[in-house]
Amino acid sequence: SQQGEEDPQALSIQEGENATMNCSYKTSINNLQWYRQNSGRGLVHLILIRSNEREKHSGRLRVTLDTSKKSSSLLITASRAADTASYFCATPRGADGLTFGKGTHLIIQP
């Protein structure tokens, strides 16, 4: 069963703009992870944020976590064409392993 659900399902912006995508989940978590996937290939880990953290940065990426609302957001600043990909949030759920949402497909228009 799905734990995380990303929103929007698809997002198209101009190069240089910021992209924000959101993730909601249902049960309590120890951590929440964001991954990127290019053209249906392997996933690349972006950021892991733990349940006692509220915000985390990595380069042009900023992730927030609100455990009271069971939600997280991923912000990509100054987007580039190479950021075009699908973005997934994932949470570890014991016997269910790492549980992913359906993803947000991001398109950066040149």
Q: Which residues would be at the binding site for another protein (CB under 8 A)?
A: 1-2, 4, 30-31, 33, 35, 40-45, 48, 88, 90, 92, 94-103
Query: Which residue number, 16 or 57, has a Cβ lying nearer to another protein?
Result: 57
Q: Shortest gap between Cβ of 103 and another protein (angstroms)? A: 5
Query: Which residue number, 32 or 108, has a Cβ lying nearer to another protein?
Result: 32
Query: Which residue number, 15 or 37, has a Cβ lying nearer to another protein?
Result: 37
- Tell me how far CA of residue 95 lies from CA of 25, 37, 42, 51, 92, in angstroms: 17, 24, 23, 19, 9
Q: What token pair was written down for 63?
A: 């992730």
Q: Shortest gap between Cβ of 84 and another protein (angstroms)? A: 16
Of 4, 7, 3, 5, the closest CA to residue 106 belongs to 7
Report the distance separating Cα 74 and Cα 24, nearest Å.
Answer: 12
Query: Which residue number, 62 or 92, has a Cβ lying nearer to another protein?
Result: 92
Report the distance separating Cα 2 and Cα 14, nearest Å.
Answer: 31
